[in-house]
């Protein structure tokens, strides 16, 4: 049995884990459910520096395995730089269109898939895979956790931007090596996300690709298993719960 003298006080202070108020909780879910991938609705308005700082701070507070914080954020305002990235997209986009079946190529080419030139800001989010050293806590058996952590930073940025009334579009139809050359990014650094950022005219009530008939949201219940792969969960989604 330990005595009072044997006990050492923890040097760590814990904060409350109580639920948010209803209003706070609803605000979080509103940001999640109304977030959209913005492509063609950007306004030319400048994003205020204090808003940008809050968004980047939210991204920097994302979870990272081993607390390695592998991300960097390259903010791009220069029109000439954006034009060069836009050219890289245009070439890659044509290549991508040819990969789809002929009946889908026309539909694909009708979609607006980026706002590189029209967004007042572009942000390139990168991952430094060497930042934590040769052995990083939590990545010893799942080596891509640094990349996954950087994706968490992107999601934090996106949700914070939604709360600030700022639109974000993720451009993935790019040739990484060519973008690195334009932005002078070292070869050992991975580009995880190229984002178009700015104020917008408005947001689609549903994801744009769903509105434009490219794809529908999958049913949640078909994606949830219990205890083993393929075993249906006994839990029901809110839409189907009685």
d(CA 164, CA 222): 33
Place of tokens 């993935």: 172
Q: What is the pLDDT of residue 177?
A: 98
Residue with more model confidence, 16 or 210: 16
Q: What is the pLDDT of residue 1?
A: 47
pLDDT band of residue 25 (cuts 50, 70, 90) is: very high
Q: Which CATH topology does 35-204 take?
A: NADH Oxidase (3.40.109)
In this prediction, residues 46-60 reach a mean pLDDT of 98
Q: What is the pLDDT of residue 238?
A: 54
Contact 127, 46 (CB under 8 A): no
pLDDT, tens digit, 9 for 90 and up, residues 69-103: 999 999 999 999 999 999 999 999 888 888 899 88
Q: What is the pLDDT of residue 241?
A: 43
Residue 29 has pLDDT above 80, yes or no: yes
SS3 track for the chain: CCCHHHCCCCCCCCCCCCCCCHHHHHHHHHHHHHCCECCCCECCCCCCHHHHHHHHHHHHCCCCHHHCCCEEEEEECCHHHHHHHHHHHHHHHHHHHHHCCHHHHHHHHHCCCCCCCCCCEEEEEEEECCCCCCCCCCCCCCCCHHHHHHHHHHHHHHHHHHHCCEEEEEECCCCHHHHHHHHCCCCCEEEEEEEEEEEECCCCCCCHHHHCCCCCCCCHHHHCEECEEEEECCCCCCCCCC
Plot region of 5 (φ>0 → left; ψ -120 to 50 → alpha; else → beta): alpha
pLDDT, tens digit, 9 for 90 and up, residues 133-185: 999 898 999 999 999 999 999 999 999 999 999 999 999 999 999 999 999 99
How crowded is residue 235: how many other Cβ atoms within 10 Å of its Cβ? 11
198's tokens: 């700015």
User: Which of 7-21, 122-136, 172-186 has the weakest average pLDDT?
Assistant: 7-21
d(CA 177, CA 88): 10
pLDDT, tens digit, 9 for 90 and up, residues 192-227: 999 999 999 988 778 777 877 888 998 999 999 999
Residue 62 has pLDDT above 50, yes or no: yes
């Amino acid at each position: 049995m330990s005595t009072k003298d044997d006990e050492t006080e923890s040097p760590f202070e814990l904060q409350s884990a109580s639920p948010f108020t209803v209003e706070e909780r609803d605000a979080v879910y509103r940001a999640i459910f109304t977030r959209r991938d913005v492509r063609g609705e950007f306004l030319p308005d400048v994003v205020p520096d204090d808003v940008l700082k809050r968004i980047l701070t939210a991204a920097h507070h994302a979870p990272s395995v081993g607390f390695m914080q592998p991300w960097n954020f390259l903010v791009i305002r220069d029109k000439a730089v954006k034009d060069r990235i836009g050219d890289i997209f245009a070439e890659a986009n044509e290549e991508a269109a040819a990969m789809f079946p002929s009946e889908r190529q026309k539909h694909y080419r009708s979609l607006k898939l980026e706002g590189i030139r029209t967004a007042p800001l572009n942000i390139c989010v990168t991952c430094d895979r060497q930042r934590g050293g040769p052995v990083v806590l939590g990545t010893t058996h799942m080596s891509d956790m640094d990349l996954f952590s950087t994706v968490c930073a992107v999601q934090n940025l996106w949700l914070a931007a939604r709360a600030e009334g700022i639109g974000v579009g993720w451009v993935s139809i790019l040739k990484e090596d060519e973008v690195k050359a334009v932005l002078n990014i070292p070869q050992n650094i991975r580009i995880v996300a190229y984002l178009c950022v700015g104020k917008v005219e408005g947001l689609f009530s549903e994801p744009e690709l769903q509105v434009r008939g490219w794809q529908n949201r999958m049913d949640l219940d078909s994606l949830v298993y219990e205890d083993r792969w393929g075993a249906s969960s006994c839990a029901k989604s809110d839409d189907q719960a009685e």
